[in-house]
């Protein structure tokens, strides 16, 4: 249920740390209890107004919530005086009976006392502004609230503990000390640079740049957040849509005996070994004069390019006529990236006498019980291998981080090839700034809006 909105337009009242905000922290009114969160300078007076004397700090107390002489609810009340609260400001929580009628009246009372409804992420935004967490930890809270899989939960908690911030902080400190050495050279410009100092600087810069490279090229953070992109592709009628349905356990995709049934890309998420896997069903690859189907084939080829893994379905006829120019041309061999493709011989029930699948290929059937076991195990194996590779490392999860660290690396390499200490110092400063933007040390105001726009109200 939407709470009554404030009188003023939200945008005009958004000043950091300004005013008392409230929000339902427990999402749409449902279940037995709803938690209303309130934060901001002076909210203790509001709590006194509603419940009489302030309850003991950080302890649950049962109180009557009254407004203008009327009892609104019996609630559990938590009072968090500044600075020991989530936001760092005076805050309180009302654990109310979850009913739309109670919510509406308590919201009305809070607004009567001068509070306004919080914007998305505003509590966490205030926590960042109060220096209680950095932007990376705030993003981690958004990830934690949205976590659907075990790997997402673990990633978010690690980042919330600050592992990513600590890594970036260490890099910043290292760059800072290199910067200090260059600044010392600027101050004593007439003295010759000893060759071993020059060598040490080069080593340090390249070591740092390659550490950043390893971090940038580790895909596990993105895979955890977005899911492993697995694309099902192959000629028409190969059984792609049937496989999608079998893996998800429902009938998302239309299946018919007519080749060319699927045209749009169809997405469905499953979880394998605690990892989100995004399956994409595609139009069968063939040359066609049908405009609609041709568009589908184009999209299918595009999906193949962005795939982390491709399941290339090969139906029985195609396997038998392998090498026949018709099939080869229609199937578009060159669209399958070999290192990311698993060959899947489909409809194995129709070829009981067929020779065993070629090495590295799997054989499946969507109509025989257990016909998918091999494929499922193969996918699970891939996911496990990914996870084991980078168990405890600080993972880069967002394009925002990618862009910042990439820029920092570029500045380090430019510093390495710059001929003068002044130029090196400038590149090093820009490198530190690029990392600072990722952690929020630099230009925090610029990134706040984009970071918090994806939050839910009440966080
Ligand atoms: N009812 C309720 N449950 C919740 C939250 C909440 O705000 N309210 N949380 C919201 O995210 C999470 C817990 N995180 C929290 C983090 C810090 C503080 C806090 O008040 N910190 C103070 C006091 C610490 C203390 O008492 O020792 C501090 O760090 O100074 C509260 C909750 C999940 N569960
Ligand atoms: N016997 C047998 N038939 C299958 C199997 N998988 C799919 N089929 C049948 O093959 C036909 C085509 O299946 P689809 O899943 O629609 O094939 P598709 O690859 O999605 O086809 P397009 O969307 O046209 O590209 C349907 O009649 C399915 O019932 C299988 O494992 N065994
Ligand atoms: Mg299909």
| Cα–ligand 1 centroid distance for 86 (angstroms) | 5
Choice from 240, 242, 331 to test ligand 2 binding pocket (greatest atom count within 8 A of CB): 242
With a cut of 50, say whether residue 329 has pLDDT above it. no
d(CA 10, CA 400) in angstroms, rounded, equals: 27
Alpha carbon 328 to its chain centroid, in Å, reads 39
**Which residue did the predictor score with more confidence, 253 or 223?**
253
pLDDT confidence band for 195 (50 / 70 / 90): low
The pLDDT assigned to 458 comes to 72
Contacts for 351 with CB less than 8 Å, ≥ 6 apart: 316, 319, 345
pLDDT confidence band for 4 (50 / 70 / 90): very low
Sheet containing 341-345: give its strands across: 266-272, 275-281, 228-233, 309-314, 341-345, 362-363
d(CA 158, CA 147) in angstroms, rounded, equals: 13
The pLDDT assigned to 12 comes to 33
- What does the block give as tokens for 343? 């060959």
Distances (CA, A) of 219 to 90, 141, 370: 41, 21, 32
**Average of pLDDT values for 126-140?**
92
The pLDDT assigned to 319 comes to 56
Detail the residues annotated as belonging to a binding site for (6S)-5-formyl-5,6,7,8-tetrahydrofolate: 37, 93, 132, 459
Choice from 36, 86, 90, 160 to test ligand 1 binding pocket (greatest atom count within 8 A of CB): 86
Residue whose entry in the numeric block shows the structure tokens 């009976």: 97
Sign of CA dihedral 299, 300, 305, 306: positive
Q: Which of 30, 118, 32 is nearest to 75 (CA)?
A: 32
| Cα–ligand 3 centroid distance for 381 (angstroms) | 26
d(CA 273, CA 210) in angstroms, rounded, equals: 31
| Domains, in order of start, for the chain | 21-134 (3.30.1360.120), 227-320+331-368 (3.40.50.300)
Residue 57 is given by DSSP the state B
366 lines ligand 2 (CB under 6 A): yes
Q: Whose CA is nearest to atom 16 of ligand 1?
A: 86
The pLDDT assigned to 222 comes to 85
8 Å CB contact between 285 and 313? no
- What does the block give as tokens for 185? 């050279």
Q: Which tens digits make up the pLDDT trace of 360-387?
A: 889 999 999 888 999 999 998 888 887 6
Its pTM surpasses 0.90: no
**Average of pLDDT values for 271-292?**
94
With a cut of 90, say whether residue 245 has pLDDT above it. yes
DSSP bridge partners of 156: none
pLDDT confidence band for 328 (50 / 70 / 90): very low
Give this complex's ipTM: 0.78
Q: Which tens digits make up the pLDDT trace of 386-436?
A: 766 656 678 898 989 999 999 999 999 999 999 888 999 999 999 999 999
**Average of pLDDT values for 133-159?**
91
Which ligand is closest in space to the CA of residue 245? 2
d(CA 34, CA 27) in angstroms, rounded, equals: 8
pLDDT confidence band for 17 (50 / 70 / 90): low
d(CA 416, CA 404) in angstroms, rounded, equals: 19
With a cut of 80, say whether residue 233 has pLDDT above it. yes
Q: Whose CA is nearest to atom 5 of ligand 1?
A: 86
235 lines ligand 2 (CB under 6 A): no
Q: Which tens digits make up the pLDDT trace of 28-59?
A: 777 899 999 999 999 999 999 999 999 999 99
The pLDDT assigned to 7 comes to 35
Angle between helices 163-187 and 195-216 (to 10 degrees): 160
Q: Whose CA is nearest to atom 7 of ligand 2?
A: 239
8 Å CB contact between 241 and 263? no
Q: Phi then psi for 372, rounded to 5 degrees?
A: -110, 0
**Average of pLDDT values for 430-458?**
82
Which ligand is closest in space to the CA of residue 138? 1
* Three-state secondary-structure class, residue 6: coil
The pLDDT assigned to 126 comes to 93
Half-sphere exposure of 41 (CA within 13 A, CB side): 5
b/e burial code for range 11-41 (CB count within 10 A of at least 16 → b): eeeeeeeebbbbbbbbeebeeeebbbbbbbe
Average pLDDT, the chain: 87
d(CA 232, CA 246) in angstroms, rounded, equals: 12
Contacts for 149 with CB less than 8 Å, ≥ 6 apart: 224, 271, 274, 275, 276
The pLDDT assigned to 108 comes to 96
With a cut of 90, say whether residue 353 has pLDDT above it. no
Angle between helices 195-216 and 399-417 (to 10 degrees): 160
Residue whose entry in the numeric block shows the structure tokens 């009892």: 71
Q: Are strands 275-281 and 362-363 parallel, antiparallel or unpaired?
A: unpaired
Q: Which tens digits make up the pLDDT trace of 158-193?
A: 999 999 999 999 999 999 999 988 888 777 666 666
Q: Which of 99-113, 145-159, 279-293 has the lowest mean pLDDT?
A: 145-159
237 lines ligand 2 (CB under 6 A): yes
Q: Phi then psi for 38, rounded to 5 degrees?
A: -135, 135
């Amino acid at each position: 249920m939407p709470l009554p909105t404030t009188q003023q337009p939200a945008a005009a009242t958004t000043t950091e740390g300004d005013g008392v905000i409230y929000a339902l922290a427990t999402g749409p009114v449902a279940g037995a209890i709803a938690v209303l969160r309130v934060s901001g300078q002076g909210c203790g007076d509001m709590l006194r107004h509603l419940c009489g004397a302030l309850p003991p700090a950080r302890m649950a107390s049962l109180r009557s919530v009254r407004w203008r002489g009327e009892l609104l609810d019996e609630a559990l009340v938590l009072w968090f005086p500044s600075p020991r609260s989530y936001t760092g400001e005076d805050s309180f929580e009302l654990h109310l009976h979850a009913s739309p009628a109670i919510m509406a009246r308590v919201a009305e009372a809070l607004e009567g006392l001068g509070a306004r409804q919080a914007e998305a992420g505003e509590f966490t935004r205030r926590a960042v502004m109060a220096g209680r967490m950095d932007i990376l930890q705030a993003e981690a809270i958004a990830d934690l609230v949205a976590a659907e899989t075990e790997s997402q939960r673990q990633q978010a908690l690690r980042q919330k503990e600050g592992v990513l911030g600590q890594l970036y902080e260490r890099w910043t400190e290292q760059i800072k000390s290199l910067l200090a050495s260059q600044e010392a050279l600027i101050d004593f410009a007439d003295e010759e640079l000893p060759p071993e100092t020059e060598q040490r600087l080069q080593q340090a810069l390249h070591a740092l740049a390659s550490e950043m490279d390893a971090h940038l090229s580790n895909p596990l953070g993105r895979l955890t957040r977005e899911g492993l992109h697995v694309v099902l592709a192959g000629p028409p009628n190969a059984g792609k849509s049937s496989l999608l349905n079998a893996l998800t356990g429902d009938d998302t995709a239309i299946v018919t005996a007519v080749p060319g049934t699927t045209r749009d890309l169809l997405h469905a998420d499953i979880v394998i070994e605690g990892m989100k896997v995004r399956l994409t069903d595609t139009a069968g690859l063939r040359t066609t004069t049908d405009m609609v189907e041709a568009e589908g084939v184009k999209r299918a080829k595009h999906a193949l390019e962005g795939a982390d893994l491709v399941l290339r379905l090969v139906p029985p006829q195609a396997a038998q006529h392998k090498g026949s120019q018709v099939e080869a041309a229609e199937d578009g061999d060159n669209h399958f990236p070999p290192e990311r493709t698993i060959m899947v011989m489909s409809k194995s029930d129709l070829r009981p006498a067929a020779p065993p699948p070629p090495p590295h290929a799997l054989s499946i059937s969507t109509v025989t019980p257990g016909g998918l076991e091999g494929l499922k195990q193969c996918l699970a194996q891939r996911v496990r291998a990914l996870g084991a590779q980078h168990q405890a490392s600080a993972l880069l999860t967002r394009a925002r981080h990618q862009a910042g660290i990439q820029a920092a690396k570029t500045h380090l390499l430019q510093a390495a090839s710059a001929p003068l200490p002044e130029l090196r110092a400038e590149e090093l400063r820009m490198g530190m700034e690029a990392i600072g933007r990722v952690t929020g040390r630099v230009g925090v105001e610029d990134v706040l809006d984009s970071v918090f726009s994806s939050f839910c109200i009440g966080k």
